Amino acid sequence: VPPGIYRLQATAIGYKSVTTPEYILSTKDLNISIEMEENLTELAGVTVTASPFRRDLESPVSLRIIGLQEIEKSPGANRDISRIVQSYPGVAFSPIGYRNDLIVRGGSPSENRFYLDGVEIPNINHFSTQGASGGPVGILNADLIREVNFYTGAFPTDRGNALSSVLDFKLRDGNMEHNSVKATLGASEVSLASNGHIGKKTSYLVSVRQSYLQFLFDMLDLPFLPTFTDAQFKLKTRFNEQNELTVLGLGGIDNMRLNTKADSEDNEYILSYLPKIKQETFTLGAVYRHYAGPHVQSVVVSHSYLNNRNTKYRQNDESIPENLMLRLRSTEQETKFRFENNSSFRNWKINLGVNLDYSQYTNTTFQKAYTNQAQTFDYHTYLGMMRWGLFGTISYSSMDERFTASLGLRADANNYSSAMKSLSDQLSPRISLSYQLAEHWFISGNAGLYYQLPPYTALGFKDNNGTYVNKYNLRYMKVSQESLGISWRKGDTFEVSVEGFYKDYDKIPLSVVDGIPLTCKGNDYGVIGNELLTSTAQGRSYGAEILVKWLIAKKLNLASSFTIFKSEYRNDKESEYIASAWDNRYIFNLRGTYNLPRQWSVGMKVSCIGGAPYTPYDEEKSALVSAWDAQRKAYYDYSKYNKERLPAFAQVDLRIDKTFY
């Protein structure tokens, strides 16, 4: 078989035939594991296909499958998953260009969750915004990724604490026949990866990357010089046919220095307020699975750590102690345990599980600020919190698989405050239905209620008296979301789908100082949530999405999407709705990759997004010396919040690849 990207098919008597997701095959790939499901219904052939258009019982709508072809060759993405999903319906992108914020269906960057082979990871970006999830560069090495499930709704019950999206990454397994080493020189980093086996039962993947962005940014005379290092590994041991253990890890070290030699007028302004940022983050996790016929038990344990430090001196002069404007050191640690049992009974599937987490948050902050007068925040926080949850799903598929239904329930609670202690206060029911109307035609829908805990920066915020001022004001954020879609699919090559959605937000934290919901923040460097808040804000986001996708094996990958939507919020139920920070109104993407002879390929992406609303500056407040000295940049006039709108933005990306195997 010539080297390339392929789907594989396996058949065996008494088992359902399986067509796998995409794999990269080279001359060294001689062993690939394919899991098959016993056919309990009849002796006639049944095929289980890992199609990019496949339906999931629990999530028949709002689920996109991202395969290797898209990961490897998406124009304008640089193999960064956060940028790849920006081509999908409902996902906005920043015209600034250097941010990976996930803005899904009018929601904020803080409403997303990420999983790596079943292990939750807090964020997937370097220089992440604490309290949100965005950053400029992805932390995951695409060489290790096999497939990504991208949920924009209809979230599985075992993937909690999300309001807008879930990214579920599936990693490759190491090669059980050969050991290999791969060195890569990229546009922004150099990497070294190894793939192979240790003995007869254990495979491994490992990757280390070092950036040299600081040299490029220095040559371009940019005001900041970012440097990052990251590492990733996966060990998988198959003890026997019934038991396996996966151990994985992910870590990053970030250091953003200021380029004080960049002395243009624009750079001087940015340098006047931009802090130095240092971060260290890692996640270690283990997944044990036991296969017992129609039952599969999974135990997942993990520990995540984030150490974030921001420092800022007036005029960047550290020689004078009085110049200190900001010194923040904050850590977040999470230890997680999750148990699941998945059972299959002919046309029924049942998933039951429980999770127990312990979170620890510390923050030492010195910060000069200005509200109605100059003031200084100086406090230390130590917050320990237990969280627990129960979840379950029952799914049904008719014998001919034309009709599917799924009913799920999740409940979450914690000991932060009495208002969050009861599981019954955070009941999260959801239902999904799908029906094949005729050949190639499907109609699917989902309705669900989802909860998310406010960020630790908000839960652990103290005033100068040492009081947790948000403790009795905050509640779980919640959103009810309904989706309805119809699609026409021609095999595994062509799909046209139309999907409508409606999201209704409640109990969103509202800033007492500026009257802006926390969910309208988080698309810049720094920290959000460390302020006085109250859970009174509400919001709504609604719209329609169109996706056209055309795949020709080994030749063409073409996709186009258009989203029209509206995203609004209000301070409380008595107020009028106004545009949220993510109310771009429309998004258009057209991308394609065509494979040429001799392993050449060419790709192009055209993107267009409506102008985002913005708030004019408060010139009177910004002119006050005491106010300017507190943050060294202009203040917004929140009485005119989002009254203005930027022009629309368009972008074209081109890509040419030559592949060597």
pLDDT single digits (tens) 163-209: 999 999 999 999 998 999 988 887 778 999 999 999 999 999 999 99
Alpha carbon distance 60, 64 (integer Å) = 10
Spatial CA neighbour of 91 closest among 120, 67, 62? 62
Comparing CA positions, the residue from 290, 389, 386 lying closest to residue 342 is: 290
Q: What is the C-alpha to C-alpha distance for residues 129 and 528, in angstroms, rounded to an integer?
A: 7
Which H or E run includes 269?
helix 265-273
Q: Measure Cα distances from 567 to 172, 447, 450, 478 in Å.
A: 37, 19, 18, 16
Model pLDDT for residues 611-658, shown as the tens digit of each residue? 999 999 999 999 998 888 888 889 999 999 999 999 999 999 999 988
Kindly tell me the sign of the dihedral angle through the C-alpha atoms of 417, 419, 425, 428.
negative
Write phi, then psi, for 184 (nearest 5 degrees). Answer: -130, 135
DSSP 316: G
- Here the tokens at position 298 are 């999974």
Tokens of 430: 């959801």
Please write the tens of the pLDDT for every residue from 149-162: 999 999 999 999 99
Please report which confidence band the pLDDT of residue 554 belongs to, taking 50, 70 and 90 as the band edges: confident
Q: What is the mean pLDDT of residues 96-110?
A: 85
Is the pLDDT at 19 greater than 70? The verdict is no
**Which of residues 16 and 603 earns the better pLDDT score?**
603
Q: Which residue has the higher pLDDT, 466 or 301?
A: 301
Residue 1 has what pLDDT? 56
Residue 49 pLDDT exceeds 90? no
| Residue-level pLDDT at 43 | 43
- Maximum Cα interatomic distance, the chain, rounded to a whole number of Å: 82
Is the pLDDT assigned to residue 133 strictly greater than 90?
no
One-letter amino acid for residue 621 of the chain: K
Reported as a single tens digit per residue, the pLDDT across 261-311 is: 888 888 888 899 889 999 999 999 999 999 999 999 999 999 999 999 999
Task: Write down the pLDDT at residue 67.
Answer: 85
CATH topology of domain 51-611+646-658: Maltoporin; Chain A (2.40.170)
- Give 661 or 464, the one with higher predicted confidence: 464
Q: How far apart are the first and last CA of the chain?
A: 12
Closest among 98, 155, 554, 633 to 393, alpha carbons compared: 155
> What digits encode the pLDDT tens for the residues 572-624?
999 999 999 999 999 999 999 999 998 899 999 999 999 999 999 999 999 99
Q: What is the mean pLDDT of the chain?
A: 90
Query: What token pair was written down for 221?
Result: 């005379």
Break the chain into its structural domains and give their ranges: 51-611+646-658
Mean pLDDT across 111-128: 94
Report the alpha-carbon distance of residue 336 to residue 236 in Å, rounded.
20
With a pLDDT cut of 70, the percent of the chain lying above it is: 91
Q: Is the predicted pLDDT of residue 42 greater than 50, yes or no?
A: no
Query: What DSSP line would sit under 395-421, residue for residue?
Result: EEE-TTSSEEEEEEEEEEEESS-GGG-
The residue count of the chain comes to 661
45, 58 Cβ separation under 8 angstroms:
no
Flag whether pLDDT at 521 surpasses 50: yes
Beta carbons of 162 and 155 less than 8 angstroms apart? yes
Least confidently predicted of 79-88, 233-242, 475-484: 79-88
Per-residue model confidence (pLDDT) at position 464: 85
Band the pLDDT of 108: cuts 50, 70, 90: very high
What confidence tier does 44 reach under pLDDT thresholds 50, 70, 90? Answer: very low
d(CA 156, CA 395): 11
Whole-number Å distance between alpha carbons of 425 and 429: 12
Per-residue model confidence (pLDDT) at position 491: 80
For residue 118, what pLDDT band results from cuts at 50, 70 and 90?
Answer: very high
Mean pLDDT of 386-398: 97
Q: How far is CA 343 from CA 22, 43, 253, 286, 400, in A?
A: 26, 21, 41, 22, 20
Buried b (16+ CB within 10 A) or exposed e, 449-476: bbbbbbbbbbbbbbeeeeebebbebbbb
Helix (H, G, I), strand (E, B) or coil at 200: coil
CA triplet 319, 127, 368: central angle to 5 degrees?
Answer: 45
Residues linked to residue 563 through DSSP beta bridges, in sequence order: 545, 587
- Of 122-131, 520-529, 635-644, the poorest mean pLDDT is in 520-529
- Model pLDDT for residues 325-359, shown as the tens digit of each residue: 999 999 999 999 999 999 999 899 999 999 999 99
More confident residue, 577 or 5: 577
Taking a C-beta distance cutoff of 8 angstroms, is the pair 601, 594 a contact? yes
Whole-number Å distance between alpha carbons of 245 and 77? 33
